[in-house]
Amino acid sequence: MNDLLKGFETNEYNPADNFMDQSKDLPTRMVSIYDIEFNELNPILDSDEAIEEFADAIYEEGQIRSPLNVYRNQSDSKKKYTLLGGHRRLKALLINAERYPEAQRMVPVVIEKRIEDKTEEKMKILELNEHRTLTPDQEKIVVSEYLNVYRSLESRGEKPKGQVRKWIANHMNIGEKKAEKYIHELEGYKRKKQEPKREEKNLLSSSEKEHRKEVLKNMSEWLGCKVKDNGTSICISYRDKKSNDDDNFYSILRLLGFDEEGEKQ
């Protein structure tokens, strides 16, 4: 009980207020909002204006009951706790505390185990924010954060199971195609599109073009089939697809000096 009431007097909190967390299965305690420092690993998802509006909504409602998630700081830290989940709520509470004498200054928290590894701490922060409804711009930011975690784990030989788009989609509860789209935008990957056939570069003189055209015509008459220059190679058609002509494959081989096995005669 002493832990629960710790900080009430210094923050002018009235314990008669209805301020307890409604989640009975969570072990919570009450701490001062001034004892919690923000986490630099937390992605900034909300504008200052959005936080201001959220602060107004909290003040009108009276208080927040859902707990923040924190871990204890080491003894040499200026504040007792570091925030893991609840960045927006804490920021809004601090705004209201500056504006209104009666504003909420004590908040329920769940004290998590301190995480030494920064990548794991980042993952914990993201997991605690998975329930939030996000705008497309916010979704892209969160995908970027998950992508950084995935790449970090991958680089140290701890790659998560499955493809990165599926892994992110499962964590964020979004479609795999949407996750893939964000990943492509973030990593600079562009979907391959069939490019229109490039026009032949004008590297030949007019007289050379006419000469080659005449050569192809003579070859076509001699071989008895179509001969075409596609820019990098000469194509010989041994059968006309538009008609029922005989297959001239072996006839052309013989005219070119090869036998039916493709060996020089």
Which residue from 228, 219, 251 is spatially nearest to 238, judged by alpha carbons? 251
- What values do phi and psi take at 228, rounded to 5? -135, 140
Contact 257, 264 (CB under 8 A): yes
pLDDT, averaged across the chain: 81
Output the CA torsion sign for 154, 160, 162, 163: negative
Which residue from 19, 15, 21, 17 is spatially nearest to 2, judged by alpha carbons? 15
Residue 177 has what pLDDT?
A: 93
Is the pTM for the entire model greater than 0.75?
A: no
pLDDT tens figures, 230-248:
777 888 877 766 555 567 7
**What CA–CA distance (Å, rounded) separates 57 from 59?**
5
Question: 261: pLDDT confidence band, cut at 50, 70 and 90?
Answer: confident
Q: Is the pLDDT of residue 18 over 50?
A: no
pLDDT tens figures, 50-90:
999 999 999 998 888 889 999 999 877 889 999 999 999 99
Bridge-based pairing of strands 234-236 and 68-72 is unpaired
Query: Which one is predicted more confidently, 161 or 222?
Result: 161
Which residue from 121, 111, 117 is spatially nearest to 145, judged by alpha carbons? 121
Contact 249, 262 (CB under 8 A): no
Contact 47, 90 (CB under 8 A): no
Find where tokens 């329920």 sit.
108
Our CA dihedral for 161, 164, 170, 174, rounded to 10 degrees, sits at -170
- Where would I find the beta strands (DSSP E) of the chain? 29-32, 36-37, 68-72, 81-85, 106-112, 227-229, 234-236
pLDDT tens figures, 184-223:
999 875 444 444 544 444 567 888 888 888 888 888 888 7
